[in-house]
Structure 1
Amino acid sequence: MTSDLYSGSDFYCDVAIPHPERLDVVHEDELVLAYHHTRPFWEVHIAVVPKRHIASLSSVTAEDGADMRALFQTVQAVAHAVETEHGAAGVLTNLGNYQDSKHLHIHVYSGPRC
């Protein structure tokens, strides 16, 4: 299943996290999932998400501390690997109306836009 066929509001809780076998996974542990984006905007495009639902970066609270530490450790490792392999990496998250899926996710990317 690709996200092109998905019409809900939280692709990560509904599809990605419960079905990582459908994805090209880069990293998975108890708290975080990172995978090659199903609708890439860049030549290299990896989505990194906490497995526990957190709506967005602007809604993070103190109780999300362990999830956020794990998320940022994974983002750092993935970004370092992308930078090492491709010479550059960007890290991006979206908020509000810019956020298509209402689940915190961070994009690690490199290369030209697709």
Structure 2
Amino acid sequence: MSEDFYCEEVLSGRMSVHKVLESENVLAYHHTRPFYPVHIVTIPKKHISSLITLEDEDNGLLIELMEIVKKVASQVVSEHGACRVITNVGTYQDSKHLHFHVVFGQPLKKNE
């Protein structure tokens, strides 16, 4: 996988995704290779490497991102009764682009 799957594949339009919600600066879509029965990824359209590389100038974008995460999480809770919101940092982060996973259910497969 590339360093930034989200910029190189999703945001470039090279890969088609099933959108859940979209704003001017944020995209939420069904994971292309889900690890959970419900697995939605939410990303900023601007490249930001990770949660810990956010700058003060990104505060507005972070608020917008969290608003979309909140809406997606609310939808999943409404449909399934619960969800998890997950982000990864450092070596746990496969793609070096800030993203949040909104998931429900038991893992479909083990992480490799």
1:86 CA displacement: 0.6
Q: Unpaired segments of 5 or more residues in structure 1?
A: 1-6
Match 1:97 to one of 77, 81, 91:
91
Is the aligned partner of 1:108 residue 2:98? no
| AA at the equivalent of 1:92 | I
1:39 CA displacement: 1.1
1:18 CA displacement: 2.1
3-state secondary structure, aligned to 1:42: coil
3-state secondary structure, aligned to 1:88: coil
| AA at the equivalent of 2:11 | I
Matched with 1:3 is: none
Which one has the bigger strand percentage?
1
| AA at the equivalent of 2:57 | E
Aligned CA RMSD, in angstroms, stands at 1.2
| AA at the equivalent of 1:86 | H
Greater Cα offset, 16-25 or 65-74: 16-25
Q: 1:36-75: CA deviations, max 9, x gaps?
A: 0011111000000000001100111101012101100000
Matched with 2:65 is: 71
Matched with 2:4 is: 10
Matched with 2:33 is: 39
Q: Unpaired segments of 5 or more residues in structure 2?
A: none
Q: Partners of 1:19 and 1:25 in 2: how far apart?
A: 12
| AA at the equivalent of 1:30 | E
| AA at the equivalent of 1:28 | E
**Contact 2:51–2:89, Cα closer than 8 Å, also in 1:** yes
| AA at the equivalent of 1:47 | V
Identity %: 48
Q: Partners of 2:65 and 2:31 in 1: how far apart?
A: 16
Normalising by structure 2, report the TM-score.
Answer: 0.92
Q: Partners of 1:111 and 1:61 in 2: how far apart?
A: 33
